[in-house]
Amino acid sequence: MATFALELRTEEIPANALPGARAALADGLGSALAEAGYAGLEVRVLSTSRRLIVLVDGLPARQADRSERLTGPPVSVAFAADGRPTKAAEGFARKAGVTVDRLETERTDKGEYLAVTVVRPGRPTAEILAEVVPAVIGAMRFPKMMRWGLGDHLFVRPVHGLVALLDDEVVPIRLFGVASGRTTTGHRVHAPAAVDIPSAGDLVDVLAERGVVVDPAERRRRLDRLAAELAAGAGCRVHPDDELVAEHVELVEHPGLLRGAIDPAFLELPSEVVVTTLRAHQKCLILEREDGALAPFFLAVTDRRDDPADLVRQGNEWVIGARLADARFFFDEDRKRGVEALVPGLERLEFHRVLGSLAAKAGRVGELAAAIADRLGLAVDGSELRRAAHLVKTDLLTSMVVEFPELQGIMGGHYLRLEGADEALWTAARDHYLPSGFDGDIPSSVIGRLLGAADRLDTLAGLFAVGEIPSGSKDPFGLRRAAQALVKIVAESGWALDLGAAAEGAVAGLGELAGSAPADTAAALRDFLAERVRRYLTDRVGVGGDAADAVLAAGWADLPELVARARALDRVRTSPEMRALGLAFKRVKNITEGAAGAAVDPGLFSQPEEGELHGASAEFAGRLAECVADRRFDDAFAAMGELAEVLDRFFVEVLVMTDDERVRANRVALLTGLRRDFMTIADLSRLQIDGGNQ
């Protein structure tokens, strides 16, 4: 068995492109080799900022011989009346590489056809690799591609070198105008000279000896260790930032870190400003004290093991000092203007070309938030909500947020706090953009939750009204994420808010902007929200999809109650009682389809099972009402389960659709009442039950 090694040496690849490139290359080459008959192989793909490396162990010297069954023309056209082969038969034989006498007859659904089994001899593995590798790499796509030379070559970055070895033999490959060989180079600082790779299994070790760490996981381990050591040396710890550390891993070939100092005066700025300035401009980590307060030190990533002249540290300190000085200037200028003075400027910011300015949106959000508060009976002043809806958006006009858009909301919270605003207001400004979809915490204050929910509702209603509805994978305005955030806020705030009715209110609040069919817009938005509610139940609450469908079918006007129902049903959905009820309830629904809720006349009962079910149903209805009022849904489903045996006996012994019209209507009415009570909490016919068709 042989080892194949491929190294594609390029100009510096963007860090965000490398994880996807590794996955695409592993999948593509693995699939191509499997299709060529090389089963069970592991394709390892490693990378640095300047190299893509493929390693495949356990390759046989030759591709295995493969049998292939070929089907040819119908026998009726393959042979003449006298039995002689026609040109069709001869052509098929020639194509298969056999003589006509080797052809067989095969009976199919369409009649008799010629067929033959041929054995394709395996080819040398080197030949296979020389074909599939260029095809797989040439088909790779990146968010941003480059052309070079005369424009003939297209890849993420220009390619400068190519190593392709099957054990110690060079596999002849040509990619992007570069021919394969066994020569590469080491780290551009520590060992830039060319070096020959003796064998495929030596590639990683030879590069490691020359300062190149090709395994991203190993670079991460080294960076984590260096960061901990440098932080401990200053009596600090690293301010957590996994996303930035992951980027550091992809930025270098040799993982290195150095510690620099910050003027402590800059730490008087809000911590988010300091962290974002270092992160955005210099991709530096910052250190913090044990109590979480920022320390005047940073860690900068370097693509080398040392900084002998101390120039890298000094350069980073100089640039970071200048960046923080700019940030302090922006902060001071924003403070001079004040938040209230920025409110008129919202008229100048366009939210959407049809939906108007941000000031108009803030007005709608304020009205929506006040309406929601009133509907929920929350002790919140509506006029304060309307004012807050404008104030929380003003930081979009500040110099700091123009420089760092990711600080929107955060800076508004800081500026309002420093101006002496109520805590409820400044925390609302800070938090009302939270959460991002289903991820993260909901706003900490009631005002923040109201504004966050109303903001999403207005965005959804407005963009649905103007036709900007997500389709397939296209969602340029992030409406799925906005709807997820809305559902999470309502569910985790404990609000009994009917999102369908709220959607209608949001569409109505658009006025003439809602277009000519506001009812259709509201209906489409309601369906869209229902999908997000279902996903919240399955992805965040963790219930099964059929349990989610069952409780949703019973209504979702109260999301906290819906979650409680879903959890309770999910706990018992596989019990024997629920399995039996699920099957029986499908019969109940089919029988009662379209039936009105008529009164049941016990005087028409002719079989004991009718009276038994009538009494059990009445007892269940009383227990159900108590359980629903107290939100004891485990008890509600337990009471429901007790009906399984009674309902089963009823269906075994009683013919519901009897010829006697009055008796039939009475029995249907009995089941209709039971259906109505069941549908208070769940539609059990939605449960997926093994053997349910039997």
DSSP 560-621: HHHHHHHHHHHHHTTSHHHHHHHHHHHHHHHHHTT---PPP-GGG--SHHHHHHHHHHHHHH
Same domain, 116 and 130: no
Asked whether residue 558 is assigned to any structural domain, the reply reads no
Please report where in the chains the tokens 């592991």 appear, as a residue: 42
Give the pLDDT mean for 490-508: 96
Same domain (yes/no): 345, 258 = no
Confidence of residue 249 (pLDDT cuts 50, 70, 90): very high
Do 631 and 614 share a structural domain?
yes
In this structure, are 166 and 182 located in the same domain? yes
Average pLDDT over residues 522-545: 96
**CA 669/CA 594 separation, integer angstroms:** 11
Give me 557's structure tokens: 């006007």
Domain annotation covers residue 476: yes
Range of the domain at 322: 216-337
Mean per-residue pLDDT for 390-394? 96
Boundary residue ending a domain (190, 209, 228): 209
In a domain, 415, yes or no: yes
Question: Residues 6 or more apart from 681 whose CB is under 8 A from it?
Answer: 551, 554, 565, 569, 624, 628, 633, 636, 637, 640
- What pLDDT band is residue 325 in, cutting at 50, 70 and 90? very high
Going across the sheet that includes 111-120, the strands are: 66-74, 111-120, 104-108
Which has the minimum average pLDDT: 65-69, 70-74, 667-671?
A: 65-69
Q: For residues 490 and 504, what is the distance between their CA atoms, to the nearest angstrom?
A: 16
What band does 262 get if pLDDT is binned at 50, 70 and 90? very high
Q: How many domains does the chain have?
A: 5
Residue among 392, 384, 424, 436 at smallest CA distance from 411: 392
Q: Give, in degrees to the nearest 5, the angle at Cα 365 between 362 and 369.
A: 140
522 shares a domain with 410: yes
Which pLDDT tens digit goes with each residue over 28-65?
999 999 988 888 899 999 999 999 999 999 999 888 77
Which of 116-125, 355-364, 636-645 has the lowest average pLDDT? Answer: 116-125
- Name 48's bridge partners: 51
Query: pLDDT band at residue 120, thresholds of 50, 70 and 90?
Result: confident
User: Nearest to residue 156, comparing CAs of 348, 25, 252?
Assistant: 25
d(CA 556, CA 269): 46
pLDDT of res. 152: 85
What number is the average pLDDT over the span 379-402? Answer: 95
> Please, is 437 exposed, middle or buried when counting C-beta atoms within 10 Å of its C-beta (0-12, 13-18, 19+)?
middle
pLDDT at position 64, please?
79
Both 75 and 191 in a single domain?
no
Residue 692 lies in a domain: no
Which two structure tokens, joined as six digits, stand for 576? 């024997």
Predicted local confidence at residue 466, as pLDDT: 94
How many whole angstroms from its chain centre is CA 492? Answer: 21
Q: Domain containing 391 — which CATH number?
A: 1.10.3210
User: Per-residue pLDDT tens for 540-579?
Assistant: 999 999 999 999 999 999 999 999 999 999 999 889 889 8
* Residues 546, 482: Cα–Cα separation, whole Å: 25
Give residue 690's pLDDT: 60
**Three-class secondary structure of residue 189 per DSSP:** coil
The pLDDT of residue 694: 32
State whether 439 and 312 are in the same domain.
no
Q: Are residues 474 and 486 in the same domain?
A: yes
CA distance 191 to 75: 70
Residue 557, domain member (yes or no): no
> Considering the domain boundaries, does residue 555 fall inside one?
no
Res 557: pLDDT = 95
- Name the residue among 662, 645, 664 with its Cα closest to residue 654: 664
CA distances 295 to 232, 265, 266, 329, 378, Å, are: 12, 11, 10, 21, 42
Inter-residue contact 533 to 556 (CB < 8 Å): yes
- Does an H or E element contain 527, and which? helix 518-535
Contact 148, 154 (CB under 8 A): no
One-character DSSP codes across 415-481: HHHHTT--HHHHHHHHHTT--BTTBSPPPSSHHHHHHHHHHHHHHHHHHHHTT---BTTB-TT-HHH
Residues 604-650: pLDDT tens digits?
999 999 999 999 999 999 999 999 999 999 999 999 999 999 999 99
The mean predicted confidence, pLDDT, of the chain is: 93
pLDDT of residue 498: 96
Quick check: is 161 in a domain?
Answer: yes
In this prediction, residues 213-240 reach a mean pLDDT of 97
| Cα separation, 191 vs 202, whole angstroms | 17
In a domain, 485, yes or no: yes
**Pairing status of strand 2-10 against strand 294-302:** unpaired
CATH number at 612 reads 1.10.730.10
Domain co-membership, 42 together with 158: yes
Domain co-membership, 89 together with 31:
no
CA distance 345 to 348: 5
Q: Of 52, 85, 120, which marks where a domain is finished?
A: 120
Q: Which 3 state secondary structure label does DSSP give 287?
A: strand
pLDDT at 186 over 70: yes
Dist CA 553 CA 544 (whole Å): 14
Domain boundary among 120, 140, 160: 120
- Diameter of the chain measured on Cα atoms: 106
Distance CA 404, CA 280 (A): 8
Rounded to an integer, what is the distance from CA 418 to the centroid of its chain? 37
If you count them, how many residues does the chain have? 694
**Residue 25 shares a structural domain with residue 142:** yes
The residues pairing with 51 across neighbouring beta strands, listed in sequence order, are 9, 48
pTM to 2 decimal places: 0.82
Phi first, then psi: give them for residue 145, nearest 5 degrees.
-115, 160
Helix, strand counts (H, E) of the chain: 25, 20
Residue-wise pLDDT for 196-216, tens only, equals 999 999 999 999 999 999 999
More confident residue, 679 or 151: 679
Q: Are residues 582 and 489 in the same domain?
A: no
